């Protein structure tokens, strides 16, 4: 289940999601610190399987909360990543140099933006070799994305003035994209959201503006963009801030929501490159000074919900009742990725899903990111609407390493878990819920190349599945994190956590769930 973190100019709020019910956490520095917080971004910077939280504070030290893995956090108080001060307005994690470790970018409205490079030991250094952005820019928002599909991360920076798109032309070297390729104008831009709204495999860009009409830039697929002048989406003028793409009606294309001062806009994608503005006042009139919004499936029913935060009133959570309102029983697929060579949260990975919807074969594309809209971040679990399609033809994951994993014939209405490796993947089967927690004997056993391990989870819980050699040394972590109820299978290809082939011998497979533990022995033969 997706948890919730709200940034306040004072005490921030952390809510743990328990089977769709959000419970406020009232202990620990992450919940009790009283600081002038502006923005936050979650990322697993030490690759231990537990997301950490970075918070930008106004005019004082920023905060980094390291996840201890037991529901508590440790505040990091030393190092330039928390000691530097400025008028920071946004933060976003990305593996900029593709070394498997998340780096961090900060925008500053009064000075140079900053890039902190993770050295792989949970320490960071500021990179001055090629500053991304001009120190004279008044920067507010940013968004990482591989817009040209060349395998490395690029970044769009929203300014009070001319916005800038920087492409990574060589490792850790960035160059500003010319106005002939990315149109720009002197506007007060607040935030941006990447999404492939026309399902052509290239990420498009929506930018919110405070003093003029918002902009939707269509990716032409050749390294350039064109402004989409299409009805209300390019004509509505408000003090717009938050935005986010999501297929809220599960029909196979991305819709768009925008939060603004005193109002909000919901644009339904017609599937032909145009949008319909919905006028349901209960849904899109937020009122107040609406700052940010984010999508997520709060109750895991396959229908995306969203939350809107404001500076002058309580945040509003909108629950999507999906089929109850639509009457069309549209189906869906959710994909959860776990990096083993890439960063643990798979930030920067692309997921492509092919399905036949309304008689047409459609490829949908998502990219896992750590910042969207204005100071906001949605779920790491990627959601795909499928219309009436019951089975997905193909699913392709393109990891930050550019390695690909391909799956076919995936049933709709489930969460599909994928672990990065040569062939290892975890698949959840929602058709049957086991009555008790258990670990099955691997098959085949003995084995000489790969073997499948199955385990049962009767109710959603945090699960760890690890392999140990005869000396008791851990050689491989196959699963770590929350898993829904059901039978899960994972394929082990005989490699350790470093990707090296293990030697012949007996290995112990240990499954741990809260206070319970199950083990089985497996024999690897060469």
What does the DSSP assignment read for 79-90?
SHHHH--S-EEE
Q: What percent of the chain has pLDDT over 90?
A: 61
Report the pLDDT averaged over residues 487-508. Answer: 86
Buried b (16+ CB within 10 A) or exposed e, 50-79: bbbbbbbbbeeebbbbbbeeeeebeebeee
On the question of pLDDT at 483 being above 90, the answer is no
Q: What is the pLDDT of residue 427?
A: 44
Report the pLDDT averaged over residues 442-461. Answer: 86
Q: What is the pLDDT of residue 236?
A: 80
**Residues forming a β-bridge with 268:** 276
Range of lowest pLDDT (314-318, 422-426, 518-522): 422-426
Residue 493 gets the label, from left (phi > 0), alpha (psi -120 to 50) or beta, of alpha
Question: Is 208 within 8 Å of 243 (Cβ atoms)?
Answer: yes
On the question of pLDDT at 144 being above 70, the answer is yes
Paired sense of beta strands 52-57 and 63-67, if any: antiparallel
Report the pLDDT averaged over residues 311-332. Answer: 77
Q: Is 450 helix (H, G, I), strand (E, B) or coil?
A: coil
Burial of 145 (0-12, 13-18, 19+ CB in 10 A): buried
What count of other Cβ atoms lies within 10 Å of the Cβ of residue 223?
A: 15
Which DSSP category does 236 fall into?
-
On the question of pLDDT at 252 being above 50, the answer is yes
Q: Is 225 helix (H, G, I), strand (E, B) or coil?
A: strand
Q: What is the pLDDT of residue 260?
A: 83
Report the pLDDT averaged over residues 381-409. Answer: 92
On the question of pLDDT at 325 being above 80, the answer is no
| Sheet with 350-357, side-by-side order of all strands | 360-367, 350-357, 391-398, 404-411
Report the pLDDT averaged over residues 173-191. Answer: 90
Q: What is the pLDDT of residue 423?
A: 39
Cα→Cα distances 72→28, 75, 81, 209, Å? 7, 10, 21, 37
Q: What is the pLDDT of residue 430?
A: 42
Cα→Cα distances 402→148, 351, 420, Å? 14, 12, 11
Report the pLDDT averaged over residues 432-447. Answer: 83
Rg, the chain, Cα only: 23
Query: Nearest to residue 46, comparing CAs of 79, 7, 84?
Result: 79
Which CATH class, in words, describes the domain spanning 433-525?
mainly beta
Question: Is 349 within 8 Å of 370 (Cβ atoms)?
Answer: no
Query: For all residues of the chain together, what is the average pLDDT?
Result: 89
Q: List every span in the chain annotated with CATH 2.60.40.4070.
A: 433-525
Torsion of CA 317, 322, 325, 331, to 10 degrees: 170
**pTM exceeds 0.95, yes or no:** no
- Rounded CA-CA distance 488/338 in Å is 15
Report the pLDDT averaged over residues 76-89. Answer: 92
Q: Which tens digit of pLDDT belongs to each residue from 72-81?
A: 999 999 999 9
- Rounded CA-CA distance 19/450 in Å is 35
Report the pLDDT averaged over residues 18-40. Answer: 93
Buried b (16+ CB within 10 A) or exposed e, 175-209: ebbeeeebebeebbbbbbbbbbbbbeebbbbbbbb
Alpha helices per DSSP H over 165-322: 281-284
Question: Is 63 within 8 Å of 41 (Cβ atoms)?
Answer: no
- pLDDT confidence bin for 226, thresholds 50/70/90: very high
On the question of pLDDT at 285 being above 60, the answer is no
Report the pLDDT averaged over residues 247-265. Answer: 89
Range of lowest pLDDT (166-170, 371-375, 418-422): 418-422
On the question of pLDDT at 429 being above 50, the answer is no
- pLDDT confidence bin for 284, thresholds 50/70/90: low
- Rounded CA-CA distance 97/78 in Å is 24
Instruction: Phi first, then psi: give them for residue 324, nearest 5 degrees.
Output: -65, -30
On the question of pLDDT at 127 being above 90, the answer is no
Range among 200-209, 308-317, 460-469 with highest mean pLDDT value: 200-209
- pLDDT confidence bin for 109, thresholds 50/70/90: very high
- pLDDT confidence bin for 153, thresholds 50/70/90: very high
Q: What is the pLDDT of residue 10?
A: 85
Residue 41, Cα to own-chain centre: how many angstroms?
A: 10
CATH code for 4-318? 2.130.10.130
Q: List every span in the chain annotated with CATH 2.130.10.130.
A: 4-318
Q: What is the pLDDT of residue 416?
A: 94
Which DSSP category does 267 fall into?
E
- Rounded CA-CA distance 366/18 in Å is 26
Q: What is the pLDDT of residue 466?
A: 92
- pLDDT confidence bin for 424, thresholds 50/70/90: very low
């Amino acid at each position: 289940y997706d948890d919730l973190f709200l940034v306040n100019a004072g005490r921030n709020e952390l809510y743990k999601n328990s089977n769709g019910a959000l419970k406020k956490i009232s202990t620990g520095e992450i919940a009790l610190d009283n600081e002038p917080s502006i923005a936050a971004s979650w990322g697993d910077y030490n690759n231990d399987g537990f997301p950490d939280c970075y918070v930008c504070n106004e005019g004082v030290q920023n905060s980094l909360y390291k996840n201890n893995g037991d529901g508590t956090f440790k505040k990091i108080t030393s190092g330039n990543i928390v000691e530097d001060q400025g008028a920071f307005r946004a933060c976003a994690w990305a593996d900029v140099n593709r070394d498997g470790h998340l780096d961090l970018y900060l925008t500053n409205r009064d000075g140079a933006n900053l890039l902190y490079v993770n050295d792989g030991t949970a320490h960071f250094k500021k990179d001055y070799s090629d500053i991304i952005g001009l120190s004279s820019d008044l920067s507010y928002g940013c968004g990482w994305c591989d817009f040209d599909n060349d395998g490395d991360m690029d970044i769009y920076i929203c300014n009070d003035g001319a916005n800038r798109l920087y492409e990574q032309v060589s490792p850790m070297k960035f160059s500003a994209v010319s106005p002939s390729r990315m149109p720009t104008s002197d506007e007060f831009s607040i935030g941006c959201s990447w999404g492939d709204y026309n399902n052509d495999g290239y990420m498009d860009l929506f930018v919110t503006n405070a003093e003029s009409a918002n902009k939707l830039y269509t990716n032409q697929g050749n390294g350039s963009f064109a402004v989409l002048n299409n009805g209300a989406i390019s004509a509505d003028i408000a003090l717009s801030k938050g935005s986010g793409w999501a297929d809220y009606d599960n029909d196979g294309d991305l819709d768009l929501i925008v939060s603004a001062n005193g109002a909000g806009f919901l644009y339904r994608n017609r599937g032909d490159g145009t949008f319909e503005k919905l006028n349901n006042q209960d849904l899109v009139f937020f009122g107040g000074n609406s700052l940010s919004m984010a999508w997520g499936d709060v109750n895991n029913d396959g229908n995306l919900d969203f939350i809107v935060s404001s500076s002058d009133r309580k945040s509003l959570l909108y629950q999507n009742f999906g089929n109850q309102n639509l009457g069309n029983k549209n189906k869906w697929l959710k994909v959860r990725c776990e990096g083993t060579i890439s960063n643990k949260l798979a930030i920067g990975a692309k997921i492509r899903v092919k399905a036949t919807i309304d008689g047409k074969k459609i490829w949908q594309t998502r990219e896992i990111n750590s910042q969207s809209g204005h100071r906001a971040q949605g779920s790491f679990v990627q959601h795909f609407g499928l219309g009436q399609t019951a089975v997905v033809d193909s699913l392709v994951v393109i990891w930050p390493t550019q390695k690909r994993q391909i799956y076919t014939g995936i049933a709709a209405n489930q969460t599909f878990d994928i672990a990065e490796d040569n062939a290892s993947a975890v698949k959840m089967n929602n058709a049957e819920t086991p009555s008790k927690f258990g670990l099955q004997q691997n098959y085949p056993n003995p084995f000489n190349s790969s073997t499948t391990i199955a385990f049962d989870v009767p109710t959603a819980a945090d699960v760890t599945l690890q392999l140990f050699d005869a000396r008791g040394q851990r050689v491989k972590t196959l699963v770590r994190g929350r898993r829904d109820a059901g039978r899960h299978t994972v394929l082990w290809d005989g490699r350790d956590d470093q990707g090296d082939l293990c030697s012949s011998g007996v290995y112990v497979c240990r499954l741990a769930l809260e206070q319970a533990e199950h083990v089985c022995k497996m024999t690897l033969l060469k």
